[in-house]
Amino acid sequence: MTTVLLVRHGLTELTGPVLAGRTPGVHLDERGREQAGALARRLAPLELDAIVSSPLERCRETAAAIARGRALSMEIDERFEECGYGEWTGRPLGDLAKEPLWQVVQAHPSAAVFPGGEAMAEVQSRAVRAVREWNERLGDKATYLVCSHGDVIKAIVADALGLHLDQFQRITVDPASLTVIRYTPLRPFLLRANDVGGEVGNLAPRSEVPEEASGGENITGSDAAVGGGAGTT
């Protein structure tokens, strides 16, 4: 069993009103730094085998807060980068909501291709492939963390739940939230979704319960069009 902790970056000045996308130089604001520090303290009891981040600053800063004090160096994987929103990047969400493509993103995201950017289906494909490769690389006893972006995390969760990508807008991923998936030989299990508080001790691997003894299963918001949701808290 490999346990993956999916963390969305903390708040920035653009989170909510503007689709930051891959805009360079978008850093955590004071609220985001506080969120990252609080999450790092929550996760301190967990031993991590790797900390992986999107290359964008807001994710690297969130991951760095979690890595601080651990004997781990943060690794960058571009496959966890934000969706390439192309010409939508940097535009206010209020304006984007008037675009015809907005309704496609809401109701049929598997068909959405951002002008001058990526298709949502491509985002899911690269992110899921990255998770599977990290699972194989780290092994079935590993617990590792990936810091990424709302839409990327939602796409990974949809895959884990066996949902069509067109259902991924039903998933919420708030800033600095924790989503946890445990991959077993049988199927993935969603252990936490959009968790913004609480203990994490029960996320440690339960090696004392043989997988075969549990049937191979060792069970231990809003109109969020793009950017993972417009959550500001």
Give 83-139 pLDDT, tens digit per residue. 999 999 999 999 999 999 999 999 999 999 999 999 999 999 999 999 999 999 999
Do 180 and 201 contact (CB within 8 A), yes or no? no
Q: Which residues pair with 179 in a beta bridge?
A: 6
Do 26 and 56 contact (CB within 8 A), yes or no? yes
The pLDDT value recorded for residue 219 is 32
The pLDDT value recorded for residue 208 is 43
The pLDDT value recorded for residue 222 is 35
Q: How far is CA 232 from CA 37, 133, 138, 178, 221, in A?
A: 17, 32, 34, 16, 12
The tens digit of pLDDT for each residue in 187-232 reads 999 999 999 987 777 677 765 433 333 333 333 333 444 665 545 4
Query: How far apart are alpha carbons 87 and 223 in whole angstroms?
Result: 21
